[in-house]
Amino acid sequence: MPTDRDKLLREGSTDVFVCGDTTNIPISKAGSTAHFEADTIIDNLVSLLSEGRWARNYDGKVFCFVETGLSTGTYVWFDYKTPPNPGPPSQMIHWFKLAYNRLYWLSAKGLL
């Protein structure tokens, strides 16, 4: 869907927000992308409804773990201005990613 990359509005619309794989903004299609886009949209919805103003633009932020083997991993983060620059893989990052997966979903369910 044609999407304003800063406001995450459907192009030509003032009240239809777009998030996740369905946008056409020039960044990766990833769960992390949808997560950070949703954060921005929620902040803006709350601010528009309560104060009548935009809270912030989406800056293209994405943070992803990358598994590089059975027991090693690394991560990348990037935004519209900063290209991805993965660090050296390590076993610690792999284990952290496994723990983070569990913590993320416990948090999303409101259990943390």
Ligand X SMILES: Cc1cc2nc3c(=O)[nH]c(=O)nc-3n(C[C@H](O)[C@H](O)[C@H](O)COP(=O)(O)OP(=O)(O)OC[C@H]3O[C@@H](n4cnc5c(N)ncnc54)[C@H](O)[C@@H]3O)c2cc1C
Q: What is the 3-state secondary structure (H, E, C) of the chain?
A: CCECCCCCEECCCCCCECCHHHCCCCCCCCHHHHHHHHHHHHHHHHHHHHHCCCCCCCCCCEEEEEECCCCCEEEEEECCCCCCCCCCCEHHHHHHHHHHHHHHHHHHCCCC
* Nearest residue to ligand X, scored by beta-carbon proximity: 20
Judged by CB, which is closer to ligand X: 31, or 84? Answer: 31
Judged by CB, which is closer to ligand X: 2, or 53? Answer: 2
Residues in contact with ligand X by the rule CB under 6 A: 20-22, 29-32, 34, 64
Question: At its nearest, how many Å lie between ligand X and the CB of residue 51?
Answer: 28
Question: At its nearest, how many Å lie between ligand X and the CB of residue 53?
Answer: 27
Question: At its nearest, how many Å lie between ligand X and the CB of residue 35?
Answer: 8
Question: At its nearest, how many Å lie between ligand X and the CB of residue 17?
Answer: 12
Judged by CB, which is closer to ligand X: 51, or 93? Answer: 93
